[in-house]
Amino acid sequence: MQNPARFAIKGNRPETTYPGLFIGGADLTVADSTSGALVGGWMAANAIMGYSFIDHLYLKKNITSDLQQFLEEPSLATVRDGVVVEDLAVPFNEKLSEKGSEDDTGLTNTAAESTKEE
């Protein structure tokens, strides 16, 4: 049950008095939902790693920054059967000319022309 007394308790944190026992989930946060459970798990993971308030605030060090250093930037282009294929649902055109240009479907874009006439 969500009430102010629940969040005013002194020991409402991931660390416990028992060594190696941590608590995670929506009980640690204000939101009693899936997002609250995710944040509570994130708080528990940071407590397990031993990060303090100083680490979070001043050093910008937390479990997310630790994991981020192991992730690679996703590539939008892949090679399939010797052909470079972009992994986009819709092809991206950076800039259309004012007179109109053909897109990948062969249709001419005349949106710029119609706004000039009006």
Half-sphere exposure of residue 78: CA atoms within 13 angstroms, side-chain side: 5
How many Å apart are CA 40 and CA 1, to the nearest integer?
Answer: 16
Residue 12 pLDDT > 70, yes or no? yes
Residue spans of the domains in the chain: they are 4-68, 77-117
Q: What is the pLDDT of residues 46-81, one digit of tens each?
A: 999 999 889 988 998 999 888 888 887 766 677 778
**pTM of the entire predicted model:** 0.55
Cβ(34)–Cβ(20) under 8 Å? no
- Phi and psi angles of residue 15, each rounded to the nearest 5 degrees, phi first: -75, 145
Element (H, E) at 84: strand 83-86
Instruction: Encode pLDDT of 18-45 as tens digits.
Output: 999 998 888 888 777 888 889 889 999 9
